[in-house]
Structure 1
Amino acid sequence: MQNDLPKGFRAGAAAANFKKAGRDDLGLIVSDTPAVLAGMFTQNLFKAAPVLACQEILNRAGTVRAVLANAGQANACTGDEGLANCRATQSMVAGLTGLAVDEILPLSTGVVGAHLKMERWVDAVPALVKSLGTRDAEGFTRSFMTTDAFPKFAMREVTLAGGTVRLTVMAKGAGMICPNMATMLCVALTDAQVERDSWQAMFGRAVGKTFNRVSVDGDTSTNDTILGLANGASGVAAQSTADMALLEEALTAILAQVSYMLVKDGEGASKVIHITVSGAGSDADAELVARSVGHSQLVKTAIYGGDANWGRIVTAVGYSGAKFDPTKVSMKLCGIERFRQGCPVNEDQEDALAALLKGKDVQVDIELGSGTGAYTFKASDLGHEYVTLNSDYRS
């Protein structure tokens, strides 16, 4: 087993048979020492029980020790019973590990409205705790996958003034992704020593540049959660301005790497659309344009089919709600300018564009000509398989 977790973290997993027999669907990560916590959560008003539990812990506890994740049931829209069941799972793990209940962060994913299958938890938790130390980043990630085609995780090291620290990020998600803070589920670990306020602030900025700028289908889940645990086990502290900048740069880069995987694995997706908006009157206007294009089903289906229908892109720019002069707008598709200052250009480039649109990454550049505002965004295309997967998701 490759040891790709930061120092002081151990991972385990078990098969609880929540949905499919014979696969790990329950995962646990434990830090040997208290870890400073950062977190961001869904802005959907229907917050799942584990989201509420994690938010409560973040608001009142400076440190935590563990992350407990399950697939198969989202435990969302389940009322007081769902919250009680969530706390009961924390208590099960606490009783076998010696940890306090409030040191254990719960994560759940699966069908909304489905209660946790508590009898299966009772059977599986002893094996889960016993497995600690037997799983790597991939093993833990696989324990909370649902429709994911592949596990999404990454590791990198960064050298600070006092030595080298490690960052490992593990995430799941392929559908119901349009985060207004994060993704379906994500856990970021580091063995760097950081102060809580600095860690939360850094984490928020990094998420804002990465997970907050991806979309598969325009839906924001009830369970979206991203957690960051820093346990300081490396003995290397990030204290100076230079060290903090290096750590934030590495954190942003690894979150960007994993969030790209989410879009690449969008349910039924075959391509990633990279949208860059510049020349807006403000960054907010640039974001409106980027999200409008990235969420457009007509744009997404055209890209899926390899159709260089640039008019769909320009139309989405027009109804975005951003303020700009239409006669100053220009647009490039796959590096070829097709719209300049409100008029079509390079109409003889259709064959060249058709060839470029066969690639897995499609670049869309939009220049509004109204200022210095800018924004970047990633979205998946939309194909037949998305409907197939989501028309019988519960079966």
Structure 2
Amino acid sequence: MLAVVMTDAVMTPGQVDTVLRTAVDASFNSISVEGHTSTSDTVLLLAGGTGPVVGGDGDLEAVAEAVASVCRDLARAIVADAEGADHLVQIDVAGLRTREEAEVIARTVADDALVKTAITGNDPNWGRIVSCCGRTGVDLVEDDITLTINGTVIFREGVPVEYDEQAVSAAMRDDEQVVIALQFPFGESSTRFWTCDLTTEYVRLNSEYTT
């Protein structure tokens, strides 16, 4: 992966470093196709210096948000365009003690092959997602988990709830994006992560060539 973001703003090296690290943390470092990364993955922010000077906090915040927005769009595009992918999957995790806890839960769900194949099959499989939470090492039990898929609560307080499974499955089939939301009762920390489903086309493409 090589991503290049450019601005004409006049920025100090320290400002560029801060803006890019923050943007990458919430974008390129918050995506996964199958958990594999390259040692040469690179993101560059080039500030040409022909435009306005980034002075006070307001200027820096404006540039930071613009860079973050571009990075999010590029990162989401990588996942949406993954080999054989039919669905972009957004994973929202909230209510944890620390952001690190939220991130490990989100990444574990995102990288799980059984979750990804369930999404391919338009299956709102609460068991696979809940069991991912349980194997993260985060201090929690099933009663702490509220699971929502595409706006419909399907698991709460340790048990699956009654819902229209056919309607949720149809929504997963028809929408290009599936949103998995996990809510916990522990704190205010949260994260957002993106992945994709795992299809037979992915297996075909990655098994039929050598490098």
Structure 1 length-normalised TM: 0.52
* 1:1-395 alignment runs, 5 A limit: 184-234=1-51, 236-346=52-162, 348-358=163-173, 359-394=175-210
What is aligned with 1:117?
none
Q: Unmatched 5+ residue regions in structure 1?
A: 1-183
Structure 1 counterpart of 2:9, one-letter code: A
RMSD: 1.2
Q: Contact conserved, 1:277 with 1:366, CA < 8 A, in 2?
A: yes
- Partner SS state of residue 106, structure 2: helix
More displaced, 384-393 or 260-269?
A: 384-393
Q: Contact conserved, 2:130 with 2:142, CA < 8 A, in 1?
A: no
Percent identical among aligned pairs is: 36
Structure with the bigger RCO (C-alpha within 8 Å, sep 6+) is 2
Q: CA deviation at 1:194?
A: 0.5
Q: CA deviation at 1:268?
A: 0.9
Q: Distance in 2 between matches of 1:203 and 1:328?
A: 35
What CA deviation, in whole Å up to 9, does each residue of 1:159-213 have, x standing for no partner?
A: xxxxxxxxxxxxxxxxxxxxxxxxx211111111101111111110111111110
Structure 1 counterpart of 2:184, one-letter code: L
Higher helix fraction (1 or 2): 2
- Partner SS state of residue 164, structure 2: helix
Number of equivalent positions:
210
Q: Contact conserved, 2:126 with 2:160, CA < 8 A, in 1?
A: no
- Partner SS state of residue 394, structure 1: coil
Moved over 2 A (4+): 392-395
Q: Contact conserved, 2:90 with 2:192, CA < 8 A, in 1?
A: yes
Q: Distance in 1 between matches of 2:139 and 2:209?
A: 40
Structure 2 length-normalised TM: 0.95
- Partner SS state of residue 193, structure 2: strand
Q: CA deviation at 1:393?
A: 2.9
What is aligned with 1:137?
none
Q: Unmatched 5+ residue regions in structure 2?
A: none
Q: Distance in 2 between matches of 1:222 and 1:194?
A: 28
Q: Contact conserved, 1:310 with 1:333, CA < 8 A, in 2?
A: no
Q: CA deviation at 1:231?
A: 1.1
Q: Contact conserved, 2:146 with 2:183, CA < 8 A, in 1?
A: yes
Looking at CA atoms only, which structure, 1 or 2, has the larger radius of gyration? 1
What is aligned with 1:133?
none
Q: CA deviation at 1:302?
A: 0.6
Q: Contact conserved, 1:304 with 1:383, CA < 8 A, in 2?
A: yes
